[in-house]
Amino acid sequence: MEGRIRFPSGCHASAVKLGIVLKGPASRSSAQIPSPPSLSHLQPPGELTVRHPGSLLICPFPCQEAHKQYKQKLEELTKLQDGISSSIARQKKQLKELSLAFKNCKSSITAEQEESIREIRSLIKERQSIFFEMEAYLPKKNGLYLSLVLGNVNVTLLSKQAKFAYKDEYEKFKLYLTIILLIMSFSCRFLLNSRVTDAVFNFLLVWYYCTLTIRECILITNGSRIKGWWVFHHYVSTFLSGVMLTWPDGFMYQMFRNQFLSFSMYQSFVQFLQYYYQSGCLYRLRALGERHNMDLTVEGFQSWMWRGLTFLLPFLFFGQFWQLYNAVTLFRLARHPQCKEWQVLMCGLPFFVLFAGNFTTTLRVVHQKFQNQNQDTKAE
């Protein structure tokens, strides 16, 4: 039995396009709606049958079986990761006990044993380096900071391409924000004189340093070797920017405002120089196999920069002494009779900590490099 539907006279052409068969004169059109045919004989297991006007498409549907295999492989991968992590933890514990045993029996070691122990210690360092490379591809427990911010989530990237892409995104993020901060500090210093725009600038600094600390922790988890101070000084900078954000407008703030904005301009300029030259130097050293693929540009000076980047040292030292000058200025303002804001002293302390950490770290690198050069000269 056929079901019929009456159509207006102008719908005949549209109905034909849709694959509906109209019978009878146009003035009294009706559509024949056939009962749907059985598709059981056209639908073998694992295939999807699609009814289309004028044609019948049979599309393969292998995704379900592939998804089962995918979940099975994931379970196998998780078990394999747990097994390797446990094995590495046991071996690291044994190496630590062995190093401690060598240290305790140091006084009773003969000259012959000393040479053997030196070779074993060299092997221990080599094995620790291998473990570090292996752990970069294994899930690990987040540190305190990442646990507070992200919770107990696995941030380990499993492929070299994903790790390098995240590192490259981090470098671009620093570059773009450095340029934006340079433009904003220049605008606030010479074009705008409003506490609102200053607050926007300081808020951007807080967000920038907070984001840097999170991304650096993720990069460390994935194998980046960032020196402790170059991570810690971003926490100090976050605190400093937060205090500057809460500093109310007034006599004390206006006395320090121009000096701070000028310093921010210079700091952004030096950071741009560092990124530009460090990225080129790192690319060259990675191509020669002398640096790790996950090494990053830093806002300071490290030993690998000695060849080709020593011209940056005067810029760095000048910026570090400017941090000391900011600290001294704020300490003097804190003793001013009209000073009532707690932010004055609380900004002076972070500036002094930044100077002390940056200056001593840079001096240590330079001193160590000179010592190594002297030893090489004596050996020749």
**CB under 8 A, 24+ apart: contacts of 12-19:** 18/53, 19/53, 19/54
Rounded to whole angstroms, what are the CA distances from 100 to 48, 97, 116, 117, 122?
66, 5, 16, 12, 15
Alpha carbons 178 and 268: distance in angstroms, whole number:
6
Q: What local confidence, expressed as pLDDT, does residue 135 receive?
A: 84
Alpha carbons 214 and 145: distance in angstroms, whole number:
8
Phi and psi of 25, rounded to 5°? -65, 160
Q: What is the DSSP string of 254-277?
A: HHHHHHHHHHHHHHHHHHHHHHHH
First to last CA, the chain: 105
Q: What local confidence, expressed as pLDDT, does residue 56 receive?
A: 45
Residue 69, token pair as written in the block = 């295999």
Let me know if 129 is exposed, middle or buried by CB neighbors in 10 A (0-12, 13-18, 19+): exposed
Contact 355, 300 (CB under 8 A): no
**Average pLDDT value for the chain:** 79
For 291-326, b/e burial (b = at least 16 CB within 10 A) is bbebbbbbbbbbebbbeebeebeeebbebbebbbeb
Alpha carbons 257 and 198: distance in angstroms, whole number:
9
Let me know if 186 is exposed, middle or buried by CB neighbors in 10 A (0-12, 13-18, 19+): middle
The H or E element spanning position 343 is helix 343-379
Residue 108, token pair as written in the block = 């009773």
Q: Which residues of the chain have pLDDT under 50?
A: 1-5, 7-34, 36, 39-50, 54-57
Contact 201, 188 (CB under 8 A): yes
Q: What is the DSSP string of 195-237?
A: HHHHHHHHHHHHHHHHHHHHHHHHHHHTT----HHHHHHHHHH
Coil, helix or strand for 306?
A: coil
Alpha carbons 296 and 304: distance in angstroms, whole number:
11
Phi and psi of 79, rounded to 5°? -65, -40
Q: What local confidence, expressed as pLDDT, does residue 265 receive?
A: 97
Contact 251, 343 (CB under 8 A): no
Q: Is the pTM of this model over 0.85?
A: no
Phi and psi of 104, rounded to 5°? -75, -35
Q: Put residue 177 in one of left, alpha, beta given phi > 0 → left and psi -120 to 50 → alpha.
A: alpha
Q: What local confidence, expressed as pLDDT, does residue 227 receive?
A: 75
